[in-house]
A and B are shown apart, each in its own frame.
Chain A
Amino acid sequence: DQQVKQNSPSLSVQEGRISILNCDYTNSMFDYFLWYKKYPAEGPTFLISISSIKDKNEDGRFTVFLNKSAKHLSLHIVPSQPGDSAVYFCAATGNQFYFGTGTSLTVIP
């Protein structure tokens, strides 16, 4: 049972534009959400997180938005850069740690 889903397996964006990656979850008890970036054959790198008591957290070019009523979070990358091309996983924690299915982002120069 996939409790954290990323419905877009891939996304292509022009360099300099905004990348929006989406994540949906089913368990209202999740209280902490994270985004990881992963290159092939490497471990995931922590990017940004948000607690369930907030609806927005910003760190440089990365902003995470949380909509608890919709059980939805999104990662905005502005401006997108070619080095951002990677697979992005969202994750959620509660009584367990759940990874989303991943979205492969390609930033086109």
Chain B
Amino acid sequence: DTEVTQTPKHLVMGMTNKKSLKCEQHMGHRAMYWYKQKAKKPPELMFVYSYEKLSINESVPSRFSPECPNSSLLNLHLHALQPEDSALYLCASSQATGTGWGILSFTGTDTQYFGPGTRLTVL
């Protein structure tokens, strides 16, 4: 089973709303990721959690706030977003086979498995 689930599938929100995206995996993976993808572009990494600790924050604005309540769940809290934040938000997970997980290492055969994404529209 290589399934990563994401809810909701679609989300429309105003610029003053607060909403959350959810991601879940039951593969025993210890690294989880948030990506943002705009049309006709590759996914852009936003955040990485390894062993429930935030390892990488790719200079993402504070209106995006990640949370990893446990090893199976990853949330992305959204507040005061802008229309340009409209995109497909992808969650991924991997086994975290690299070493030195205080600082994330992608070495080794660490395959990321992606969820179906949440299509976010900010009005």
Q: Point out residues on A near B: beta carbons under 8 Å.
A: 31-32, 34, 36, 41-46, 49, 51, 89, 91, 93-97, 99-102
Q: With A and B bound together, what is the CA distance between A91 and B114 in angstroms?
A: 13
Would A94 and B106 be within 8 Å (CB), given that A44-B43, A46-B2 are in contact?
yes
B: interface residue count bin? 20 to 34
Contact residue among A46, A93, A99 (Cβ-Cβ distance under 8 Å from B106):
A93
Question: Is there an interface contact between B117 and A43, defined as CB atoms closer than 8 Å?
Answer: yes
Q: With A and B bound together, what is the CA distance between A89 and B109 in angstroms?
A: 17
Sample 7 A-B pairs with CB under 8 A, ordered by A number. Answer: A31-B107, A32-B109, A41-B88, A42-B117, A46-B113, A94-B107, A102-B40
Q: Judge if B61 is at the interface, Cβ distance under 8 Å.
A: no
Question: Is there an interface contact between B111 and A49, defined as CB atoms closer than 8 Å?
Answer: yes
The main secondary structure of chain B at its interface with chain A is: loop
Contacting residues, chain A, for B41 (C-beta < 8 A) = 101-102
Question: Is there an interface contact between A99 and B111, defined as CB atoms closer than 8 Å?
Answer: no
Q: With A and B bound together, what is the CA distance between A49 and B106 in angstroms?
A: 14
Contacting residues, chain A, for B102 (C-beta < 8 A) = none
Inter-chain pairs besides A43-B115, A49-B109, 4 sampled, C-beta below 8 Å: A32-B107, A42-B116, A49-B111, A102-B41
